[in-house]
Amino acid sequence: MQTLIAWGKVEREFAYASYDALRNLFNADGAIPEDGLKLVIDQARRSAKITREVTPGEVADLTFLHQAQADLGIKPR
């Protein structure tokens, strides 16, 4: 949590709330639904008063997930 607070420059309560929201964001196969990720990004943008659009690709690199899914024979959703 300290890393999230320092990196995101957010209050402790927001960091914990963000963690809880993100924890429930993942599917059972480890994937992140894009619409859910966009929702979290937009909430964080508003809280941090960032006006520019932030794409999921700027905050999440799913390369390792996709490779792990392929290695395990899991088809991405």
Can you state the percent helix, strand and coil of the chain, rounding each to 5? 60, 0, 40
pTM of the model: 0.55
Mean pLDDT of 14-18: 83
State pLDDT tens for residues 39-77. 889 989 998 999 999 998 898 888 998 899 999 998 876
Mean pLDDT of 11-28: 79
